[in-house]
Amino acid sequence: MSWLTEAPTSRSRLGSLASFPFSLWLFAFLLSGIGLLFLHSTEPTKPEYLGQTYRQTQAIVLLGLGLIPFAWVRRRTLLGLSPWIYALSCLSLLLLPFFGVTINGARRWFALGAATIQPAEFAKPALILALAALLRDRREDSWWAGLLLPGLVLALPFGMIASQPDLGSALSLIPVYLAICFAAGASGRKILLLLLLGLLAVAALYPFLHEYQKARILVWLGLDQLSGNLGAGYHLKQSLIAVGGGGLFGQGLGQGAQNVYDYLPYRSTDFLFAVIAEETGFFGSSLFVLLYAGLSLLIFRRAAQIPDRFGRLLCVGAGAFFASHLLIHTGVCTGLLPPTGLPLPLLSYGRSSVAGAWLCMALVAHACVRGERSLAGGARA
């Protein structure tokens, strides 16, 4: 337990350079580097992918370095801005139906010249910030203050993202919300009950899902072989072939047949893990999963070391963000979850996704650098 709670020795005073989480930052760069490696592997397989590695590298360097000063933003400033940031992200989601562009039947992006921006990716750190700000001084384990009020904060972006439709991104917000609530003091039983109610709600809302979403669920349950072979199940089938075909040792970097011969769809974004699994096999993909999970665990560790409640909740939210994306993304690629499009933060191609991930990292850095001992919940708990 000590590894989780022990404070870093280098931290002499708040706001010092030494308190910046360089190790996490380097870890994030390492994962981004792995991502670039596999983006490079997918690049020659399709004309549309050409230049992705370069653009992604640009985004990583720019954001990874450019967001470092964010750690020294004054706490009060950030707290003051958090409702506005949340409102801005909700507004951007709200404007999507009117000004967004439709790609593959979904309206998830704003077009800025040749580039596109996906507001849902920015809504994720905004939600973390909003939830942390909301729960930083609410300690009572009540339904309203501990779960329902934060639930309302979640509901707005959740609903708007789900209606784009982007159910994957929307669902990835739930673990973040639950983790922050739990870390803020909500009882485990209540959370389990909420989860159960959520499952029942999903069953009740099933008839209102889009047809393709229903088809994906049926295919995942193995109830619809026809769609499983032709339409809705195509992604899942190809992903399973890629993962399974990788075997224990993989086919080698840039050698994955599903990747090279263009069978695996969205392989630079929503199915990047399938490429990793195909080309590095069980050992490589397991190592990758452990590394990625290591980032979340290290963030949790940092959270335990942070004395103030706001900073800790920010870290928990960011850790949950990375963990939930890892689990959903890999779960979809391995058939543990129904097919849904969710990129792997730091790795998948997409500048919005990269920005979202690095903003989460910036929140962690801010929590580490600008901790307020006066608000330290851990000391009093």
Partner 1 sequence: MSSAAQRLWVLAGVLVFLLLVLLGKLLYLQGFQREVFVARRENRQLAWASLPDRRGAILDRWGSVLAQDEPGYELRIDYRKFRRGHALALLLHLDHLLRRLGEAGLVSGGALRYQDGDRRFAEAAGNLLDAPASLFSNKRSWGRNIAEVLRFYAFGLVHELFRPGEKFFQKRALLLLDFKRKALKKEGGTLLDYLSEETGLDPGEFRSRILPALGTWSGELDRLARLLGSSLNLPGSPGRSGGLRRYLDALDAYFGRRARRAQQRKGGGARSRAKGSSWFSRVFAREKGARAELAALIYKRFRIEDQAFLVAREVPLDPVVALVLGKQEQLPGFLIRESLRRVRAADLPWLGLVRERSSTGEAPQVLLAYEGGKLDEDPFDRDKINFSDPEWLEWKRLQRLRALRRRRVGVDGLERSLEPWLTGLPGKRRVVRDRFGKERNQRGLLREVPGQDVRLSLDLRLQGLAQEALQGALRGRKRTLPPSQRAALALLDARSGEILAMAWIPEKVGGRRDLKNTAAQIWHYALLGSTVKPLLAYEALLQEGLARGEGLAPCTGSWKPAGDRRIHCDGVHGSLQYPGVLPFSIAHSCNVYFAQVGDRLGLAGVARALARFGLWQLGTSYRSPPGLLVDPAGPVPRPRARGPHGAPKPTAGSFGSLYIPRSAARRAIGYGMEAPPLAVARAYAGLALGRLPGLRFLLRVGDRDLPGLPSKELGLDPQLLVQIQKGLAGAVGPGGTAFRSGVGRLGAVGKTGTAEISRRYNNAWFSGYFPAGEPRWAFSCVFFGVPHGVHGGDQPASTLRIFLEACRKDPVLRARYPFLGEPK
Question: By CB under 8 A, is residue 83 in contact with partner 1?
Answer: no
* DSSP line for 232-283: TTHHHHHHHHHHHHTTTT-S-TT--HHHHTT-STTTTTTTHHHHHHHHHHHH
Question: By CB under 8 A, is residue 320 in contact with partner 1?
Answer: yes
Residue 231 CB: number of other CB atoms within 10 A?
14
Work out which of 62, 68, 83, 378 binds partner 1, going by CB under 8 A: 378
Residue closer to partner 1 by CB (options 87, 241) is 241
Strand partners, 112: 115
Angle of CA points 143, 147, 153, to nearest 5°: 135
Asked if residue 246 lies in contact with residue 280, where contact means CB atoms within 8 angstroms, the answer is yes
Q: Where are the beta strands (DSSP E) in the chain?
A: 100-103, 106-112, 115-117
Least separation in angstroms between CB 371 and partner 1:
13
Least separation in angstroms between CB 230 and partner 1:
7
Least separation in angstroms between CB 85 and partner 1:
25
Residue closer to partner 1 by CB (options 115, 223) is 223
Applying CB under 8 A, the site for partner 1 has a residue count of 71
Q: Is the Cα torsion angle 197, 235, 119, 106 positive or negative in sign?
A: negative
**In whole angstroms, how large is the CA radius of gyration of the chain?**
20
Angstrom distance (rounded) from CA 32 to CA 152: 33
Angstrom distance (rounded) from CA 317 to CA 364: 9
Question: By CB under 8 A, is residue 316 in contact with partner 1?
Answer: yes
Residue closer to partner 1 by CB (options 95, 226) is 226
Taking CB under 8 A as the binding criterion, the range among 79-87, 116-124, 156-164, 242-250 that sits at the site for partner 1 is: 242-250
Residue closer to partner 1 by CB (options 113, 222) is 222
Smallest Cα–Cα separation from 171: which of 186, 154, 187?
A: 154
Question: By CB under 8 A, is residue 110 in contact with partner 1?
Answer: no
Residue closer to partner 1 by CB (options 6, 17) is 6
179 to 218, contacts with partner 1 by CB under 8 A? 179, 182-183, 185, 188, 210-212, 214-215
Residue closer to partner 1 by CB (options 91, 291) is 291
- What are the residues whose beta carbons fall under 8 Å from the beta carbon of 357, sequence distance 6 or more? 28, 321, 322, 345, 346
Residue closer to partner 1 by CB (options 6, 69) is 6
Angstrom distance (rounded) from CA 124 to CA 147: 18
Angstrom distance (rounded) from CA 41 to CA 268: 9
Q: Count the helices and strands in the chain (H runs, E runs).
A: 16, 3
Binding mask 247-266 for partner 1 (x = CB under 8 A): xx--------xx-xxxx---
Work out which of 143, 331, 372, 375 binds partner 1, going by CB under 8 A: 331
List the structure tokens of 326: 């890892």
Taking CB under 8 A as the binding criterion, the range among 9-17, 52-60, 147-155, 313-321 that sits at the site for partner 1 is: 313-321
Question: By CB under 8 A, is residue 24 in contact with partner 1?
Answer: no
Least separation in angstroms between CB 298 and partner 1:
10
Least separation in angstroms between CB 210 and partner 1:
5
